[in-house]
Amino acid sequence: MNLNQLTIKQANDGLKKKEFSSVELTQACLEQIKKTDKKLGAFITITEDLALTQARAVDKKGDFSKSLAGIPVAIKDIFCTAGVKTTAASKILENYIPPYSATVVEKLIEQGAVILGKTNMDEFACGSSTETSYFGQTKNPWDLGRVPGGSSGGSAAAIAADQCLYALGTDTGGSIRQPASLCNIVGLKPTYGRVSRFGVIAMASSLDQVGPMTKTVEDTALVLQAIAGLDKKDSTTVPKEVPDYLAELNHEIKGLKIGVPKEYFVAGMDPAVEKTVREAIEKLEKLGAKITEVSLPHAPYGLAVYYIIMPSELSTNLARFDGVRYGFSAKAKTLFENYLQTRGKGFGAEIRRRIMLGTYSLSAGYYDAHYLQAAKVRTLIKNDFEKTLTKIDCLITPTSPTVAFRIGEKMDDPLTMYLADIFTISINIAGVPAISIPAGFAKPKDGATEMPVGLQLIGKQFDESTILRVAHQYQQATDWHMKKPSF
Ligand code: GLN
């Protein structure tokens, strides 16, 4: 096995035993990036010098007691990294170099992480296919004609192609879980407030959450352990103790109650995906879980609520990109002309669409009918999850209604693109944690190559431990997560 194919756990064991150095591990990843990234386009920026400097420093210290020490990571280009270009995949931030790093990036650096570079994504995390990036398309390593999902598509593709051992993503409506599902890796969206968002370029602040993307559930637990917790710089993080996420992974799941929400098995879902997910549910039943059907009656309104709340917050957050303070400037003659041209040329079509939608739903006369109404339905959705999750331990659903679709297929039809997140969006609206794990393969309707299918487990507020445990036990009994693409 090549070093770049290792999991974090395996690499940490090898580093401790001095079987190889962090520099060797880093070089294996850099070589894989050089060999494959022209085809894949997973990275916007590769930080080779930084990575090797960091690796050498960790080797010199020789202390691998922290599980992420000396391990190469890729970071979605939405996290500020001091001295390293951070673009959010937008022309408007094409040459932006932040003076500080996001809290989570600092936490990784404290652990001795090795940063390989910044990964491609949909512009300002708006999309489900990484097609809205200003820096070109990331391809799915399982079929180069298909999308890797989005918005954290670069991070997901990089892991699936063994260019890195793990990555950081963000998830506002599914951007960690959906690409994880489409690329056959693990992706966790923690509870809102569990991980700091400081220094992460904001999309929709009441929905955004940072999370790990890895090859195994065990690795996700390791990364979450390193990044979770209170941050004085993010007032939405909570002073709740961070549990030991590894401690419970190996406990069996006999007797655990898992709910299957009936609203999630609806028309529009690819039958091949449904079959795969039903088989995974049977597997969990064999492992001793008690499966019961439950109902989340307001779930069907999730998408509608999201497409009011998200653009409203997005339009507010993006107001700061005005061509005056930082980033691209059209340098027009008058201030007003400069705003117009900077934003008109600097933002892509999908961003401009969402800014218009958001500004409209917040404007006087429309606010009550749109934003306020959506906020009320949001509470109903949240209550559904809370009520149901008092009776059961976690919920199980597909992550995405289809396997990876073809590049270009949905770009002219935003509504069908938005439907790609139908199973992930309500989770952000409710603020609860959810994980996507590899659960098998299915043939797309329009192709012969079997593509990955992901399974989503949804937990109670701040109870990442239970979904990690169920997911880990499933991985102990299956080998889907070990399958590799041969692109
Ligand atoms: N795909 C969804 C959107 O386009 C979710 C994006 C995200 O989670 N950042 O908004």
The two tokens of residue 209 are 């959450």
Ligand 1 surroundings by CB, under 6 angstroms: 125-128, 151, 171-175, 203, 310, 421
The two tokens of residue 178 are 């959906």
Residue 107 is predicted with a pLDDT of 98
Mean pLDDT by 10 residues, the chain (487 residues): 96 98 98 98 98 98 98 98 98 96 98 98 98 98 98 98 98 98 98 98 98 98 98 97 96 97 86 95 98 96 96 97 91 95 97 97 91 97 98 97 96 89 96 98 93 98 98 98 95
Verdict on whether the full-model pTM lies above 0.75: yes
Closest protein CA for atom 5 of ligand 1: 173
Domains annotated on the chain, with CATH: 6-259+390-482 (3.90.1300.10)
Q: How many residues does the chain have?
A: 487
Examine the residue annotation and report whether 436 is marked as an active-site residue of this protein.
no
Residue 454 is predicted with a pLDDT of 98
Examine the residue annotation and report whether 387 is marked as an active-site residue of this protein.
no
Distance 148 CA to ligand 1 centre (A): 14
Distance 151 CA to ligand 1 centre (A): 6
Which atom of ligand 1 is nearest the CA belonging to 310? 10
Give CA torsion, residues 146, 453, 2, 72, to 10 deg: 80
* Chain centre distance of CA 250: 25
Which atom of ligand 1 is nearest the CA belonging to 126? 4
> What DSSP designation does 229 have?
S
Query: Do 81 and 102 meet the contact criterion of CB atoms below 8 Å apart?
Result: yes
Residue 415 is predicted with a pLDDT of 87
Residue 265 is predicted with a pLDDT of 85
3-state secondary structure of 452: strand
Examine the residue annotation and report whether 363 is marked as an active-site residue of this protein.
no
Of 175, 196, 426, 465, the catalytic one is: 175
Distance 283 CA to ligand 1 centre (A): 30
Q: Which of 312, 421, 426 to mutate to test the pocket of ligand 1 (most atoms within 8 A of CB)?
A: 421
Q: What are phi and psi of 260, to 5 degrees?
A: -110, 105
Phi-psi region of 285 (alpha: psi -120 to 50; beta: other; left: phi over 0): alpha
Of 9, 22, 67, 76, the catalytic one is: 76
Closest protein CA for atom 4 of ligand 1: 127
Which atom of ligand 1 is nearest the CA belonging to 171? 8
* C-alpha atoms less than 13 angstroms from C-alpha of 356 in its C-beta half-sphere: 9
Which atom of ligand 1 is nearest the CA belonging to 174? 8
3-state secondary structure of 435: strand
Indicate the helix (H) or strand (E) that contains 455.
Answer: strand 451-458
> What DSSP designation does 143 have?
B
Distance 450 CA to ligand 1 centre (A): 25
The two tokens of residue 481 are 């997560």
Indicate the helix (H) or strand (E) that contains 383.
Answer: helix 373-391
Residue 133 CB burial class (10 angstroms; 0-12, 13-18, ≥19): buried
**What is the strand order of the sheet 43-46 is part of?**
43-46, 114-119, 72-76, 166-171, 209-214, 186-189, 434-442, 451-458, 394-398, 257-261, 290-294
Residue 46 is predicted with a pLDDT of 98
